[in-house]
Homo-oligomer: A and B are copies of this chain.
């Protein structure tokens, strides 16, 4: 059951399209303190709090403060309070069981037992918000109700489930060709190459630098013939430059965010000084969405939206003010405090919260200061694209994922988990985020495999891939200046080929599970507790996940390890694919196990009376035979599998012909 409580007058987020009637009476579970603008829940000692989407720390969020404030934060450290998304949904499981979604476009904080270990305290910046309280038969049911409330998740095209290779940046055609050629020659499957900011002219959105991509449409076609999709990046900021058409048109139409005095708000991002399309203004949004046509027309079928928190390197006004202030330090004997003040001026230039109070949106004629709706910006940039794709390419599924997000955006695109690091701990962080993001509707998601910033190591990439083969978005991406990490550059080539090929072998299962989760408002990645609610130990497991209906995974995320401990809530079949292509199966009893997992093995666990459809792999998604799945199974009495398989590109999702039932009995026969 979903009850909607209204406090004040919320600036509409359009997170929820069909709102239930407003409930009367006091909020259940949460004590509302209007003076403090806070809600409090008294947790039991063993209560677990799930949710909050994209955030650091555990699957169980207890013991930290999380702030929904979309942030360009490249340091996903344990003490981070905010990443790129704002996902105000959580689930309490313990003495009581309920879900809460707080629809609120501004900055809001969730103190989950940080200040006082027994208190969950929610504090918004003002008191204009709507609270949805959801109860149900179990955790999965509550999530399903929430997901139904917020609408169907974005569905990616099938090719986007292939392996993608990215780098900031592949600088020209030849470099892209080389990446593709090296994968093909090494027998490492590949379906996409991502173009980071350097494909553009001076970082100008919706331009192609013809010096390095002289005929982009032809090149795109050349790549497609090799079953490679090029996926260009789109930034939120539009370069301020005379003669640059997007800039001039936007200025002319008044579609950029403005300062209080009505002049355009100028802040620097990649192109230097830039303007920010008013994504919250429906007309500006439509206009911005239409710009994607420039690339769609050249055959592009996928994009990633970046910098849309929005990130700000500096504002024109603040930089000028700081430059003035720097003078006063000249020639002085700076003591330490003066020195910190001096360096603080510089470090405070980027993403300064005060700057988010300096510009305004035009929301249906109302002038709204940005900070009040900060968390809606990236959402509406991606919505601009998604709505445009529906207009411009209604028959096609276009790949779209974003860095920033708010609930509602999940209908228009996925997200990647942002600018992580080549740290072992970030494998685990990514794992923990998967179910939290699934809860909030982000099914098409994954981390930058191998790590974005910092230098990676071969074993880190291998271990990360062995997890990444399960995430719908499977992309290897890394930053300028860091060690190159394309799979073919390393020594253990057979291992890389094997692990990445396993992705393609698992695709019939993974795609089927993804589609069912999307169409039924379910989670593809689940903590163990969601499927084994009676198992108290399962509730504490933070490093294993259920993937779809039939599989449990337990990735290795520590360096120099040969294996790891795995908890089995019930008897399961360990399935191991070795580098030489051989498969081993072993039935393990419920309980604790130490499982050896050499560096290039792929290991997962099949649940009893489950089977999964697999393929023989391929060089690319196009090669994969979805029509005649092979199966691996753990049948004790009988296993059924509801196999969802469509063409992967059309949109008749509900067509019953996409469903086939596979049944296996004890003898191993398929019916």
Interface residues of A (CB under 8 A from B): 48, 57-58, 60, 62-64, 77-79, 114, 116-117, 203, 268-273, 313-314, 319, 323, 326, 329-331, 333-336, 338-339, 342-343, 346-347, 349, 421-425, 454-455, 457-460, 491-492, 537, 540, 542, 558-562, 565, 567, 592-594
Smallest CB separation, A303 vs chain B (Å): 21
Smallest CB separation, A90 vs chain B (Å): 15
Interchain CA distance A338-B158 in the complex, whole Å: 41
Query: Residue on B with the closest CB to A336?
Result: B270
Contacts of A273 in B (CB 8 A): 333
Contact between chains at A79 and B592 (CB < 8 Å): no
Smallest CB separation, A597 vs chain B (Å): 12
Most buried by B among A60, A346, A421, A491: A346
Contact between chains at B117 and A458 (CB < 8 Å): yes
Contact between chains at B63 and A560 (CB < 8 Å): yes
Contact between chains at A339 and B268 (CB < 8 Å): yes
Contacts of A542 in B (CB 8 A): 558, 560-561
Contact between chains at B63 and A559 (CB < 8 Å): yes
How many copies of this chain does the complex contain?
Answer: 2
17 contacts between A and B (CB under 8 A): A48-B560, A58-B558, A77-B423, A79-B423, A79-B454, A114-B457, A116-B491, A117-B459, A269-B336, A272-B334, A323-B331, A343-B346, A346-B346, A347-B347, A425-B425, A540-B560, A592-B594
Interface of A is mostly: loop
Contacts of A269 in B (CB 8 A): 336
Contact between chains at B57 and A421 (CB < 8 Å): no
Contact between chains at A559 and B57 (CB < 8 Å): yes
- The 4 lowest CB-CB distance pairs between A and B, nearest first, are A272-B335, A79-B454, A78-B423, A565-B565
Contacts of A314 in B (CB 8 A): 334, 339
Query: Residue on B with the closest CB to A426?
Result: B78
Smallest CB separation, A556 vs chain B (Å): 12
Contact between chains at A334 and B319 (CB < 8 Å): yes
Contact between chains at A425 and B78 (CB < 8 Å): yes
Interchain CA distance A58-B561 in the complex, whole Å: 10
Interchain CA distance A343-B350 in the complex, whole Å: 10
Contacts of A343 in B (CB 8 A): 346-347, 349
Say whether, besides A421-B78, A559-B57, A323 and B333 are in contact (CB < 8 Å): no
Interchain CA distance A593-B329 in the complex, whole Å: 61
Contacts of A62 in B (CB 8 A): 559-560
Contact between chains at B117 and A491 (CB < 8 Å): yes
Contact between chains at B560 and A58 (CB < 8 Å): yes
Contacts of A457 in B (CB 8 A): 63-64, 114
Say whether, besides A78-B425, A330-B323, A349-B343, A540 and B559 are in contact (CB < 8 Å): no
Interchain CA distance A339-B424 in the complex, whole Å: 31
Interchain CA distance A526-B626 in the complex, whole Å: 53
Contacts of A560 in B (CB 8 A): 48, 58, 60, 62-63, 540, 542
Contacts of A57 in B (CB 8 A): 559
Interchain CA distance A62-B562 in the complex, whole Å: 13
Contact between chains at B116 and A559 (CB < 8 Å): no
Contact between chains at A336 and B271 (CB < 8 Å): yes
Say whether, besides A62-B560, A343-B346, A78 and B565 are in contact (CB < 8 Å): no
Contact between chains at B336 and A424 (CB < 8 Å): no
Query: Residue on B with the closest CB to A77?
Result: B423
Interchain CA distance A455-B78 in the complex, whole Å: 10
Contact between chains at A540 and B565 (CB < 8 Å): no
Smallest CB separation, A445 vs chain B (Å): 23
Query: Residue on B with the closest CB to A65?
Result: B455
Query: Residue on B with the closest CB to A202?
Result: B335
| With A271-B335, A314-B334, A342-B346 already in contact, 17 other A-B pairs whose C-beta atoms are closer than 8 Å | A58-B560, A62-B560, A63-B457, A77-B454, A78-B424, A114-B457, A203-B336, A272-B333, A314-B339, A323-B331, A343-B346, A346-B346, A540-B561, A540-B562, A542-B558, A592-B593, A592-B594
Interchain CA distance A422-B342 in the complex, whole Å: 27
Contact between chains at A272 and B336 (CB < 8 Å): yes
Smallest CB separation, A656 vs chain B (Å): 43
Smallest CB separation, A81 vs chain B (Å): 10
Contact between chains at A268 and B423 (CB < 8 Å): no
Contact between chains at A79 and B455 (CB < 8 Å): yes
Interchain CA distance A559-B60 in the complex, whole Å: 9
Smallest CB separation, A579 vs chain B (Å): 14
Smallest CB separation, A526 vs chain B (Å): 18
Smallest CB separation, A428 vs chain B (Å): 10
Smallest CB separation, A496 vs chain B (Å): 13
Contacts of A558 in B (CB 8 A): 58, 542
Interchain CA distance A330-B602 in the complex, whole Å: 56
Say whether, besides A79-B454, A323-B329, A63 and B459 are in contact (CB < 8 Å): yes
Query: Residue on B with the closest CB to A330?
Result: B323
Contact between chains at B326 and A339 (CB < 8 Å): no
Contacts of A425 in B (CB 8 A): 78, 425
Contacts of A567 in B (CB 8 A): 594
Query: Residue on B with the closest CB to A454?
Result: B79
Interchain CA distance A114-B560 in the complex, whole Å: 12
Contact between chains at A422 and B79 (CB < 8 Å): yes
Interchain CA distance A592-B595 in the complex, whole Å: 11
Contacts of A63 in B (CB 8 A): 457, 459-460, 559-560
Interchain CA distance A559-B112 in the complex, whole Å: 13
Query: Residue on B with the closest CB to A563?
Result: B540
Contacts of A272 in B (CB 8 A): 333-336, 338-339
Contacts of A423 in B (CB 8 A): 77-79
Interchain CA distance A331-B492 in the complex, whole Å: 52
Contacts of A421 in B (CB 8 A): 77-79
Contacts of A270 in B (CB 8 A): 336
Query: Residue on B with the closest CB to A269?
Result: B336
Query: Residue on B with the closest CB to A335?
Result: B272
Say whether, besides A326-B326, A329-B323, A268 and B349 are in contact (CB < 8 Å): no
Interchain CA distance A457-B455 in the complex, whole Å: 31
